[in-house]
Amino acid sequence: MRSLLLAVAALISVDASAAEQSFPTDGGVIYFNMPSGNVGCQYTPAGGSDVYMPEDGGPELGCDRIEPTYQRFILGKAGKAKRYQNVGDTGCCDGSHTLEYGNSWKKGPFSCEATKAGLSCTRKDGHGFFISRSKTEIY
């Protein structure tokens, strides 16, 4: 029983150290990267920005993975996430805003959790994606 209580206490202390991060906007758009530098994301609000309008009017969360193959994942305001493998504008992951491992980010209907295993992002209705160097998944 004592070891069970210690295990539960350890889990609670790990969860307590997790923090929700926020990042500044650039014309309404928010950029952040994983600590590995292999995944970077862009949040575009409803109505778009001066330079980009989401296909469905937004909001939209898009994340790019560089290695082992460049892929883009787009989660719009409705429906399942989409994966693009032939991306013409591969400009990922050069920002200075890092979503640290163990932390989360939330904006509009989207939330993301960064772990050493990868990045998991979901919309409030449960649709989303998982991205890592070794695995990608849409749900």
pLDDT of residue 95: 75
- What is the average pLDDT score of the chain? 88
Which two three-digit tokens encode residue 4? 């069970």
Give the up-direction half-sphere exposure of residue 89: CA atoms within 13 A in the CB hemisphere.
2
At residue 136, the 3 state secondary structure works out as strand
Percent of the chain surpassing pLDDT 90: 76
C-alpha distances out from residue 67 to 8, 40, 71, 114, Å: 36, 12, 8, 17
How is residue 117 annotated by DSSP? Answer: T
pLDDT of residue 7: 38
What is the pTM assigned to this prediction? Answer: 0.84
Which two three-digit tokens encode residue 87? 């991306």
More confident residue, 90 or 101: 101
Q: Is the pLDDT confidence value at 17 over 70?
A: no
User: CA-to-CA distance for 40 and 137, rounded, in angstroms?
Assistant: 16
Q: Is the pLDDT confidence value at 6 over 60?
A: no
Look up tokens 């009017």; give the residue.
57
More confident residue, 19 or 88: 19
